[in-house]
Amino acid sequence: MMDQLETIFDNGERENIEFKEYLTEELHLKDERRQGLVCQMKHRLIMGNGTALYVVGVTDGGLLRGISFSKYKETLSVLNCIALEAGAIITDCKEYQVNNGWVGLLTIKNHTNLKEHILIGTAGHVDHGKSTLVGSLVTGIMDDGAGKTRIFLDMQPHEIDRGLSADLSYGVYGFKNGKAIRLKNPLSKKEKAGVVESVDKLISFVDTVGHEPWLRTTIRGIVGQKLDYGLLVVAADDGATHVTKEHLGILLAMELPTIIAITKIDRVEEGQIAETEKQIMHILKAVGKIPLRIKSKSDFRTISNRLDDGVIVPILRVSSVTKAGFDLLDQLLLQLPKRNLGAQKPFQMYVDKVYQVTGVGTVVSGSIKQGEVKVGDQLQLGPTDYGAFIPVKVQTIEAHYCRVDKASAGDIVGIALKGAKPSDICRGMLLCEEKIKSIREFEAEVIILNHPTRIAKGYEPVVHIETIAEAATFERLEQEYMMAGQTGRVTMRFKFRPYHIHEGEKFIFREGKSKGIGRVVKVFEGR
């Protein structure tokens, strides 16, 4: 047996090395098992800077067994399917005969043109350091303790002056061959576009608003963007506040796997940090989540295959002033697997913002919900106030100021359209491949989280679905009234105009301090 294989057995599974006895098409290519194997392979590729070694015909414990030739060939076929879905290929396969059976050493490498794009939404109380953390992450610049790096995200004069974010903002950095690529000048559109082009893994942040009066904007950032993960920020010197709990509730209601960063650890003693950590763990356990403190890179092994199921919630301590914990946060973000956003489904993108750009024309921006869009595509935009759809053509596509020929599920893009004026378009419209249902009325299962009195027929909260934020009337309730803590079915109707929604979509509704969550169970077309 060759020295390479002997060395692998001496040291066992680790980092980019995986042992497999044998895999079958019937069992291991089913949805859940397949997705688990894809996530596992992506982790091994990340830990090996784009290269993973798989040993076939050996148990997880390292027992050299050897398998029949038919099992060996079927295992190679399964691993080839898994590699293709993980954006990789098997580049080499060495075969050995052991104990009258077969053992294989496979080298698996990332495609050189693969670009994995992870979209993360930040949340947390005002002044807990969300924008500062993102600013320091994407630049590598240490903060001065007074919000020096948050200015890279707050672009409006009143935001800079008051030190409060008032709208969604975006940050981006990436990894190439496992090394972080940051922005020297985050205000340079050219440099930002260069990072997007050069990295093999892109991390985009949607930085939301922590000030309570702008909860509507925060909800829009979490519900309206096609996020992969949430990053909840909690300041060590302030602890978990009612806004912290509210933002965590929104992330969990949208079933977003969440990471928690305890910030400002440079300001307080260990006892205060531990107390904040204890608070967070208590809150997470109360809602059925498993908190896991990340102290070193060895802790990643515990969660490497569980990062995207949302059960385990990693907790890290960080400081934007000293950059303590940044290496661990970098490593965690590096190995986050892309969640399945329906890349093979027909293209859909809910409009978040509309612009009129000189020399370009009408531009809509948003996060692609599903599918792929290319320059030249003929699409539909709607529904309008009267339920119609407008035929449009894609002129250009930009992602973080980088001009691209196509974009896919999860990408944040600006799309220049021919065939529609900005006055024709509003937030919440859908850009899609073909005309689909225009919905005014729908049935939903709702949970009332907070309300001071009784809710009855005629109640009118604002409903947040995707980028839609529209008043909707409770037309019919299955019981006479509902109160905080109760669950029930309600028929709801958008008050002013129709939108496209579908069965299964989750949403949040609010009115003043009253809040609830729901799931669409039936839509009524044409009402």
Q: Give a yes or no: residue 342 inside a domain.
A: no
Question: Which is it for strands 390-399 and 430-432: parallel, antiparallel or unpaired?
Answer: unpaired
How do 361-370 and 353-357 pair as beta strands?
Answer: antiparallel
In a domain, 483, yes or no: yes
Taking the C-alpha atoms of residue 472 and residue 505, their distance in angstroms, rounded to an integer, is 16
CA distance 45 to 166: 39
pLDDT at 434: 83
CATH number of the CATH domain containing 86: 3.30.110
Distance separating alpha carbons of residues 15 and 297, to the nearest angstrom: 11
pLDDT reading at 411 higher than 60: yes
Among residues 110, 138, 166, the one where a domain terminates is 110
Q: Do the Cβ atoms of 141 and 148 come closer than 8 Å?
A: yes
Let me know whether 356 and 501 are in one domain: no
pLDDT, position 61: 67
State whether 149 and 271 are in the same domain: yes
Neighbouring CB atoms inside 10 A of 451's CB total 20
The pTM of the whole model exceeds 0.75: no
Residues 482 and 497 placed together within one structural domain of the fold: yes
Helices 130-139 and 326-334 pack at an angle, to 10 degrees, of: 80
- Expressed as residue numbers, the domain containing 35 is 3-110
Judge if 144 and 292 occupy the same domain: yes
- Backbone φ and ψ for 270, nearest 5 degrees, come out as -55, -40
Mean pLDDT score, 199-211: 78
The pLDDT of residue 178 is 87
In a domain, 152, yes or no: yes
pLDDT value at residue 12 = 61
Considering 373, 405, 432, which residue would you say is the last residue of a domain? 432
- The answer to whether the bond into 383 is cis (omega within 30° of 0) is yes
Backbone angles phi, psi at 14, to 5 degrees: -170, 155
Do 68 and 133 lie in one domain? The reply is: no
Q: Is residue 343 part of a domain?
A: no
154-168, 285-299, 493-507: least confidently modelled range:
154-168
Name the domain boundary from 334, 366, 388: 334
For residues 432 and 492, the answer to whether their CB atoms sit within 8 Å is: no
Give pLDDT, residue 160: 32
| DSSP code for 328 | H
Say if CB 204 and CB 412 are below 8 A apart.
yes
Q: Are residues 133 and 261 in the same domain?
A: yes
Three-state SS string across 456-512, please? CCCCCCEEEECCEEEEEEEEEECCCCECCCCEEEEEEEECCCCECCCCCCEEEEEEC
All residues at 6 or more sequence positions from 477 whose CB lies less than 8 Å from its CB, including other chains: 455, 456, 457, 488, 489, 490, 491
CATH number of the domain where residue 247 is located: 3.40.50.300
Q: How many domains does the chain have?
A: 4
Q: What is the pLDDT of residues 236-262, one digit of tens each?
A: 999 999 889 988 988 888 888 999 999
**Within a domain: 259:** yes
pLDDT value at 156 more than 70: no
Over 90: is that where the pLDDT of 154 sits? Answer: no
Q: What is the pLDDT of residues 299-325, one digit of tens each?
A: 877 676 677 777 899 999 999 999 999
23, part of any domain: yes
Whether 272 shows a pLDDT value over 60: the answer reads: yes
More confident residue, 109 or 284: 284
Residue 130 burial (C-beta neighbours within 10 Å; 0-12, 13-18, 19+): buried
CB 293 within 8 A of CB 276: no
Q: What is the mean pLDDT of residues 190-212?
A: 76
**367 and 252 in a common domain:** no
- Chain centroid to Cα 157, Å, comes to 29
> What CATH number should be reported for the domain holding residue 375?
2.40.30.10
Q: Coil, strand, or helix at residue 341?
A: coil
Same domain, 92 and 144: no
Give 519's strand partners: 445, 506
Same domain, 65 and 126: no
Phi-psi region of 240 (alpha: psi -120 to 50; beta: other; left: phi over 0): beta
Residue in the block written with tokens 């005014």:
440
Question: What's the pLDDT at 359?
Answer: 79
Whether residues 199 and 282 fall in one domain: yes
| Token pair in block for residue 295 | 């102290």
Maximum average pLDDT range among 57-61, 210-214, 337-341: 57-61
- Any domain includes 509: yes
Residues 443 and 505 in one domain: yes
Per-residue pLDDT tens over the stretch 116-130: 888 898 999 988 999
Tell me, yes or no, whether 322 and 369 share the same domain: no
Residue 147 inside a domain? The answer is yes
- Mean pLDDT, residues 452-477 taken together: 94
Other C-beta atoms lying within 10 Å of the C-beta of residue 308: 18
How do strand 402-404 and strand 372-374 relate by DSSP bridges?
unpaired
